[in-house]
Structure 1
C-alpha cells in the first residue's frame, strides 16, 4: 500500500501549496480559450477537497469533472505567459490528474 500513501501524500502536499498561493491577479474574471479561469480553479479545488475528505474515493461526478478539467488545462496552459500563472495552473493540472487516477 505504499503507492496509495504516496498518491495521498503528493496530493496533500500539492493542495497545501495551492491553498497558500494567491490566485494570479491577471486571471481574475478572465477566460482563456473560452474557459473561465476562476471556475476552473474552483472546480478542481472541489474535486481535490472531496478526494481528500473521502479517503481517495470521490464519486463518479467528481471524477468526470477532474478529467474534464485536465483537458481544459491542456488547452489553457499553452496560452499562459506569466511565471506565477503557469506555476499555479500546472499545479492545478497535476492535482486534477491525481484525483482522476485510481489510487494504487
Structure 2
C-alpha cells in the first residue's frame, strides 16, 4: 500500500470514528486561553471534509486555519481533565495533522 493510499484510509477511518462519537459534554462551552474547543472541532471538521471531498490540497486560507487549530489543540489538550475528552481531542489532532500534510497527488 502506498503512503498516500494509507494516508487517505487513515483519514477516512479517523473521520468515521469522529462522526460516530458525540462531542464530549465536558467540552461544551469550555474555553481555554480564549479558545472555544467546539469551534476548533468545527473548523477542523470543515477542513477535513474539504480535503476528503477534493482529494487534493487545501487552499492557503484553509491550510492556515488548520495549522492554527492544530496549534490551539496542542495548547488545549494538556488542560483537559476528562479522559474521554482528551481521547476525542487527540484523535481530532491526529486527523488534523494527517490532513495538513501533502495529500495524495501533490508534490
Partner residue, 1:79? 79
Q: Taking structure 2 as the reference length, what is the TM-score of the superposition?
A: 0.92
Partner residue, 1:93? 93
Question: How many residues of Structure 1 are paired with residues of Structure 2 in the alignment?
Answer: 104
Partner residue, 1:26? 26
Q: Is the 8 A contact 1:63 1:100 kept in 2?
A: yes
Per-residue displacement from partner, 1:29-75 (whole Å, max 9, x unpaired)?
A: 11012100110100000010000001032211111111111100110
Q: Taking structure 1 as the reference length, what is the TM-score of the superposition?
A: 0.94
Q: Is the 8 A contact 1:8 1:56 kept in 2?
A: no
- Name whichever of 86-95 and 58-67 sits farther off: 58-67
Shift of residue 103, structure 1, vs aligned partner: 2.7
- List gaps (5 residues or longer) in structure 2: none
After TM superposition, what 4+ stretches of structure 1 lie above 6 angstroms from structure 2? Answer: none
- List gaps (5 residues or longer) in structure 1: none
**Equivalent residues in 2 for 1:37-76, closer than 5 Å:** 37-76=37-76
